[in-house]
Amino acid sequence: MSYSDSGNAWRNAGGAHAYDPDLHPELFRGVATRRVFAFLIDMVVISVPVILGYLFIAVFGVITLGIGWALFWLAWPASVIWAIVYYGACIGGPSSATIGMRVMDLELRTWYGASGYFVLGATHAVLFWVTVSFLSPFVVLVGLFNGRRRLLHDFVLGTVVINNSVRAPVPQGARTY
């Protein structure tokens, strides 16, 4: 169980942002560096099936004397769909994290503390790639100058990535004697 699963424990009194870096800096310690490594791990996870698909099409083309190479036109759209489904399914899953984020012990949450869902994960991936394509240095710099280490697409979507290695303390039960 992480801090984010402990109900309203992380919510501020006035309904403000659920994750306050001033009250709980441990949630954001090392997040920027971990996100970089999580991204690299996710790129490997996404790339392996894509590379295997390209190899299959190449071998299939040789076996069919070139006719199978016509499938190469499907490889690029299939790669994009695979990446979107991967991010959507992982972030929409019970851990609210991709495989890379799980390895690096990170978790994506909404600004008010809710878990991720499929559309949020898919949109997060698409918006990340769009912002990186057009504003690459700015996207990274934004994360260095805010307490929650949010990137540009996190601001737009209202998400925050937290350090999931911080564990919630177990509350003591009331004594009846």
What is the domain partition of the chain in residue ranges?
A: 21-163
H-helix or E-strand containing 155? helix 152-157
State the pLDDT confidence band at 176, using cuts at 50, 70 and 90.
low
Rounded to 5 degrees, φ, ψ at 2 are -100, 170
- State which of 8-17, 42-51, 138-147 shows the largest mean pLDDT: 42-51
State the pLDDT confidence band at 175, using cuts at 50, 70 and 90.
low
Average pLDDT value for the chain: 85
Q: What is the pTM of this model?
A: 0.81
The whole-number pLDDT of residue 177 equals 56
Round to whole Å and give the CA distance between 95 and 98: 8
Task: Please determine, for residue 57, whether its predicted confidence score (pLDDT) is greater than 90.
Answer: yes
Number of CB atoms found within 10 A of residue 172's CB = 6
pLDDT tens-digit profile of 80-91? 999 999 999 999
Round to whole Å and give the CA distance between 99 and 80: 18
Phi-psi region of 99 (alpha: psi -120 to 50; beta: other; left: phi over 0): alpha
- Show the tokens assigned to 82: 């695979």
The whole-number pLDDT of residue 167 equals 56
